[in-house]
Structure 1
Amino acid sequence: MLAALLTPWLACLLIFLNFPFISGIIQRLRLTPQKRRNHALEHGTIHCFFHKHGQKKKVSGRAKTDGFRIAGIHSTKEIREAFSEFLSLDKQEKWNMAISNRCGSILVIAQGIGIISLLTALVFFSFWQPSPPTVALTLGTQLLLFLGCRHPLGRLLQKHRLLSLDFEDAKILDIKQVDRIPLIENGPVYFVRTHVQ
């Protein structure tokens, strides 16, 4: 009875607390073709950098319509080399490098799966008073779905909605050091302005 009374309020609270996440999903899934291309170039550049230098450094990026930000690589020469290496690959190798488990889309998918499964459980538990073993089984299943689906769904989302290799050629127009975003970016931050055709 108490669960039935609390469920609508808990559902509203979960939706309210996750509103920034929901709006972020909508924005991320509506990337322009140019931003999707630069997102692939950003991922590929970072992956090629890691391939050469190892993954000890914390490197991150963010795609824009006219290029991408890259944080944590200490020289423009290393950025140019990684960018060139990525462009030299065949299309399948580019996809293998561009689709990344380190992308923020994995976190978005994970949070989405978590929210949907919790809301589903709240509704389910409010209408049917399950036994403690059933609750444990339901929550355990949700945890397994969360852990098992976040990477495959995130990679699928990247390939079909967030990244694009639909270009003939790409080049770096210039690289400028820019201010870092506190608490988000580490080390020097560069904006890599690109020309993609």
Structure 2
Amino acid sequence: MKQVPWPFHILVWYYKQPILGYGVLFVIALCWGLLPHTGEVVVLTVLLTPWLACLLILLNYPFMSGVIKSLRLTLQKRRNHALEHGTIHCFFHKHGQKKKVSGRAKADGFRIAGIHSTKEIREAFAEFLSLNKQEQWKMAISTRCGSMLVIAQGIGIISLLSALIFFGVWQPSPPTIALTLGAQLLLFLGLRYPLGRLLQKHRLLSLDFEDAKILDIKQVDRIPLIENGPVYFVRTHVQSDPTSP
């Protein structure tokens, strides 16, 4: 496996720290808004705002594209996403959360990284399916899901980029700047988890199936920087619920 250049390590680390990413954008927006309202600064602001906005959009493109992609998942992928979450949750319930385990859903199954035994994967999968739907939903909706990072950073990016454009064009007073950024900070802290859970339940996950089973489990190559430990692809067969519309 080829060695990954160090800039990619920094970018991946940055993408996994939504609080840090939001903090950087917050400081930029604050400094941008508090620039003095002199003629030279106004001209400089008008000239630089589009470039700064483009740079921030490019830097945070994975989050913004992730939000769009998450709203377009097929039903089959949403079902496997729920099975992946449930399998990982049941594994943690039995073995504890010290191990770093991650997953990624596909149309015909899901990847799971960090579990060293296919037997443990099968046991966790079976345990999840043995639960009733209400218990399955509790386990499937996870704060560990990458959608939480996407939602958190997405909220921060959209709100703060809007603030940058607003500050650059209208040059509001310091009290208005404080009120605007304070409101955005409260939205970021208050909405990221509830919105992430809501998005998971209605757009990312589906328990709309009667039964599911594992067809086979094969070890596959891991994705550098994203996955740790052995990686397996769990190929599934999901039986649709005949009572569902």
Q: Pick one of 143, 147, 153 that aligns with 2:195.
A: 153
Q: CA RMSD in A?
A: 1.6
1:19 corresponds to: 61
Give the counterpart letter for 2:141 in structure 1.
Answer: I
Contact 2:84–2:110, Cα closer than 8 Å, also in 1: yes
Unaligned segments of structure 2, at least 5 residues? 1-41, 240-245
Give the aligned partner of residue 90 of structure 1: 132
Structure 1 residue identity aligned to 2:88: I
1:183 partner letter: L
Residue 121 to residue 63, structure 1, CA distance change in 2 (3 Å): same
**Residues 40-79 of structure 1 aligned to structure 2 (within 5 Å):** 40-79=82-121
TM-score by length of 2: 0.75
Q: In structure 2, how many angstroms separate the alpha carbons of the residues matched to 1:144 and 1:27?
A: 26
The correspondence for 1:32, drawn from 56, 74, 91, is 74
Please report how far the alpha carbon of residue 21 of structure 1 lies from its aligned counterpart in structure 2 after TM superposition: 3.2
User: Residue in 2 aligned with 1:143?
Assistant: 185
2: CA distance, partners of 1:189 / 1:105? 20
Q: Specify the alignment match of 1:162 in structure 2.
A: 204
Q: CA–CA distance in 1 between the matches of 2:214 and 2:225?
A: 27
Within 2, Cα distance between the matches of 1:140 and 1:42? 37
1:116-169 deviation digits (Å, cap 9, x = unpaired)? 111221122123323334423422322221121111111111111111101000
Deviates more, 1:47-56 or 1:128-137: 128-137
Q: 2:122 aligns with which of 63, 80, 102?
A: 80
SS where residue 125 of structure 2 aligns?
A: helix
Counterpart of 1:61 in 2: which secondary structure? strand
Bigger CA radius of gyration: 2
Structure 1, unpaired ranges of 5+ = none
Q: 2:159 aligns with which of 110, 113, 117?
A: 117
> TM (normalized to structure 1)?
0.92
Moved more, 114-123 or 155-164: 114-123
Q: Report the secondary structure of 1:69's partner residue.
A: strand
In percent, how many aligned pairs have the same letter?
87
